[in-house]
Copies of this chain bind each other. A is one copy, B any other.
Amino acid sequence: MTEQASAETGPPGAAPDYELDRDTTCVARPDAPGVYDTTLSPDWAFGMGLNGGYLLALAGRALGATLPHPDPFTITAHYLTTSHPGPAEVRTEVLRTGRTLSTGTARIVQDGEVRVHVAASYGDLAALDPEVRTSARPPALPSPEECAASAAGAAPFRRSTFMDRSEQLLDPATAGWSTGRPSGRGEIRAWWRLADGRDPDPLALLLAVDSLVPTAFDLGVRGWVPTVELTVHVRARPAPGWLRVALATRNLAGGYLEEDGEVWDSTGRLVAQSRQLARVPRTRQR
């Protein structure tokens, strides 16, 4: 069972040398069912700690190894305190196993402290009814080439090893913050893919929704906007190629804001929806 669990921690067909797979490796502890040893990689450092999407993907991978179903349908993380590069353990618990869905929790524990708490329901995306009835439309983005041509403006933001893990081609219409002219609409849109050529899968979607410049920047808020809670619904397995990620904030109030995300794959399918609640330190507001 230990062998099975640790075998299952790899997304199907994933090459072991891709960054996301390497840095979310969880090794089942022989003496403790559902407990995994892992190492949080400094390559995903961002702001004052590690990126929340990376931590969610890591916890999500451990849950996928513990639960009988492979894919996160809805997964929620509460970020209790900053996680740091280095050894950590992921403690999972199965709450219920059903025919089409199973539900469990995962805790990323470092120095004996719970840093991230995750609760999720997993299913099998491949087994879903093929019918799609949607009124959602992909964001209107200029081509990757057009976005790339003006993406230089975002350079100052790239001083983070985390930003090197992915390619982000910002819609120029949402890049005004990088030259001191935020639109005030609270919108960020971009083409996104993993920098090392790894194709997107559900774990990559958990990362993608928390990988862009925060919408707060487009509202004139600078600096770190720590995530309190992040929920992602994975609605379909993404096709290979570029993803389109659209983030929007409508309500900055009382020092908190919501950030809604949509992820579209290269076939124009809505593959993930996300929402997070983030804190906006008063000093960061202009």
Contacts and interface: CB of A to CB of B under 8 A. Distances in A.
A4 interface: no
Interface in A109-140: 113-114, 117, 119-121, 125, 128-136
B125 A275 contact: no
Given A76-B119, A117-B119, A253 B229 contact: no
Contacts of A130: 254
A103 B119 contact: no
Contact of A128 (B105, B128, B255): B255
A101 interface: yes
Interface stretch (A55-63, A148-156, A168-176, A231-239): A231-239
Contacts of A131: 253-255, 285
Of A78, A105, A228, A285, most B-chain CB atoms within 10 Å: A78
A191 interface: no
Interface in A253-269: 253-256, 258
A233 B119 CA distance: 17
Interface residues of A, number: 51
A73 B233 contact: no
A67 to B, nearest CB: 12
Contacts of A254: 125, 128-132, 235-236
Contact of A251 (B74, B76, B134, B250): B134
A235 B219 contact: no
Contact of A121 (B78, B129, B236): B78
A258 to B, nearest CB: 6
Contact of A78 (B113, B114, B119, B252): B119
A200 interface: no
Nearest to A96: B80
A252 B134 contact: yes
Nearest to A231: B231
Contacts of A282: 129
Given A95-B78, A231-B275, A277-B74, A105 B132 contact: no
A117 B134 contact: no
B133 A117 contact: no
Given A78-B103, A80-B96, A114-B95, A256 B229 contact: no
A129 B255 contact: yes
Contacts of A121: 78, 228-229, 277
20 contacts: A73-B228, A74-B277, A76-B76, A76-B229, A78-B119, A78-B120, A78-B121, A80-B103, A96-B113, A121-B228, A132-B253, A132-B254, A135-B250, A135-B251, A231-B231, A233-B277, A235-B256, A236-B253, A236-B254, A258-B273
Nearest first, the 5 closest Cβ-Cβ pairs linking A and B are A128-B254, A80-B96, A136-B250, A129-B255, A74-B229
